[in-house]
A and B are shown apart, each in its own frame.
Chain A
Amino acid sequence: MTVDAGQVERAVADAHRREWAYVLATTVRVTRDIDAAEEAVQDAYVQALETWSRDGVPDKPGAWLTTVARRRALNMLRSRQTLERKLPLLITPEAEDSTMPTDAIPDDRLRLVFTCCHPALAREAQIPLTLRLVCGVSTPDIAQAFLVPEATMAARITRAKKKIAAARIPYVVPSSADLPARLDTVLTVIHLLYASGHTAYSGGELVRDEMTERALDLARMLRSLLPADGEVAGLLALLLVLHARRATRTDANGRLLRLEEQDRSRWDRALIAEADRLLVWSLKAGSPGRFTIQAAIAALHAQARSYEETDWPQILRLYGALLRVWPSPVVTLNRAVAVSMVDGPEAALGLVAELEADGRLAGYRYLFATKADLLRRLGRDTEAVVAFRQALALTDNEVEQGFLTDRIRALPDG
């Protein structure tokens, strides 16, 4: 039997994208050793390419890969058993007594996500670890996305894996008492991953598609695994709205466009509609969290036919709600923009001045970009140029640099 080589390659790539988390998470539970499981799963994908080319693509690629990976992992562990183990095995509920909570949700992918996003791991490790283990992204690709040398990223991931084993971070879904706080960490990691792809830290490309797609995949996976959680729905809705607008964030020359300049006819209405359905559900579920409220704000922007027709009073109310559940200077800054649309730039400028005095946003380019724009709207051009220059000094991103330079040039004093 001969099978079309391109078709098999696509099937393997597709299974990598869709099934990696499931295959690895299930294998980890058998091996209780992340490195062994990772190696076995990688081998299984290599073997898939070979076997599927000969025998055809199986009906359930995920199940096929899991069976092969488990078998390989067990063989690997058997041959290793004579060697002394360097690190203790992962703690899984099966290996423990019955004191483990029984209300935890028993999906292996969830265990894997919660382990990668454990608060005992540094944020700079949580994101790459999630990409590596849950999404199966290669270490060189992760290093490239975060603009660090491959060796640095490899060391960061290795260190995190060692801590998981040595400190015995359990391979479990947190108990219901800890779940909200732990879930918030997971959602933050996914949101940061999307943001890092959305506005790449530096370099010429504004959107690093790979990272935004992966973040969206993760949000969708989490939604399917925790269908009753409002904030999970909220995060997915937020990412969907951001994703719906991604094509219009820059013009044909790669110049950054402001919300009021974007061609709204090119926004992806299907994604926005999907986000709306999630939001309606999440808001009905009650006591919306920060992701749901942010999604509601983004959705209001997406629904407006033009910037002027945006429901600013409602957006201002939502920012008030957001500030209550998430008191942060960045939220205060975004609220100031809404204030400027409802009460005028003068009122907003007062809030921005308070933030500047507060000092926590001293290195935050959007503080100065916002201030500059308010000053421009008040006709205080000289001061606006100064603030735009302050914002410019704080960004490494070429697209954002170009955007700010253009804005300075547009002013008579620039």
Chain B
Amino acid sequence: MAQYAVLIFERETGEDLPPEVLEAHGQLGDRIAELGGRIVAGMALEPSGTATAIRGDLVTDGPFVETKEALAGVFVIEARDLDHALALAKLTPIVSGGVEVRPLIGFEQPA
């Protein structure tokens, strides 16, 4: 099994996540387990308006990269391969945005 980070990007509307999306997040671990994967870790971020960026000595208000869809959360999954990881990441509840799947360095087990 290898580990992948799933980065969630959402358009920020200033409103809370709808209850059905929150509920789907709560069930995500079980659904991923049903498909033979596992959530290793996860975190949800406060809106990008609360972010502070540091470049060298310069401290600025806001996220490091301004994008239409902002980074809203990250979780790490265990999957057999990229196809499996993509199938698991597709289960992520999304309102208006998407996810990015990135392999993590150095976690693959020797075959």
Contact = CB atoms under 8 A, between A and B. Distances in A.
A168 B81 contact: yes
Interface of B: 2, 36, 80-83, 85-86, 101, 103, 108, 111
A120 B108 contact: no
A174 B86 CA distance: 13
Nearest to A85: B110
B48 to A, nearest CB: 27
Contacts of B2: 88, 168
A168 B103 contact: yes
Contacts of B81: 91, 96, 168-170
B108 A170 contact: no
A169 B85 CA distance: 10
17 contacts: A32-B111, A88-B2, A88-B108, A89-B111, A96-B80, A96-B81, A99-B80, A167-B101, A167-B103, A168-B82, A168-B85, A168-B103, A168-B108, A170-B80, A170-B81, A170-B83, A174-B83
A66 B96 CA distance: 50
Contact of B80 (A89, A91, A174): A91
B83 A178 contact: yes
A169 B80 contact: no
A120 B36 contact: no
Nearest to A32: B111
Interface in A238-292: none
Contacts of B103: 166-168
A324 B92 CA distance: 31
Ordered nearest first, which 3 A-B pairs have the shortest CB separation?
A: A170-B81, A91-B81, A168-B81
Contact of B82 (A89, A95, A99, A169): A169
A80 B103 CA distance: 25
Nearest to A182: B83
A120 B101 CA distance: 10
A224 B69 CA distance: 45
Interface string A79-97: 0000000001101000110
A408 to B, nearest CB: 43
A95 B111 CA distance: 6
A172 B83 CA distance: 10
A29 to B, nearest CB: 13
Interface string A155-177: 00000000000111110101000
B108 A167 contact: no
Tell me whether chain A's interface is mostly helix, strand or loop, or mixed: loop
Given A88-B108, A91-B80, A168-B2, A99 B36 contact: yes
Given A166-B103, A167-B103, A168-B103, A120 B111 contact: no
Contacts of B101: 167
Nearest to B103: A167
Residue of B36, B85, B101, B108 with most partner-chain A CB within 10 A: B108
A136 B44 CA distance: 47
A95 B81 CA distance: 11
B16 to A, nearest CB: 33
A249 B81 CA distance: 46
Nearest to A166: B103
A325 to B, nearest CB: 24
A166 B2 CA distance: 10
Given A89-B111, A95-B111, A168-B103, A120 B80 contact: no
Given A89-B111, A96-B80, 8 more contacts: A88-B2, A99-B36, A167-B101, A168-B81, A168-B82, A168-B85, A169-B81, A170-B81
A170 B84 CA distance: 9
A118 B82 CA distance: 10
Interface in A50-104: 88-89, 91, 95-96, 99
Contacts of A178: 83
A96 B80 CA distance: 8
Nearest to A90: B81
A49 B36 CA distance: 49
Nearest to B2: A168
Interface string A117-128: 010100000000
A32 B82 CA distance: 16
B109 to A, nearest CB: 10
B82 A170 contact: yes
A167 B82 contact: yes
Nearest to A99: B36
Contacts of A95: 111
Contacts of A118: 82
B104 to A, nearest CB: 10
Nearest to B83: A170
A169 B81 CA distance: 6
Nearest to B4: A167
Interface in A131-181: 166-170, 172, 174, 178
A174 B80 CA distance: 14
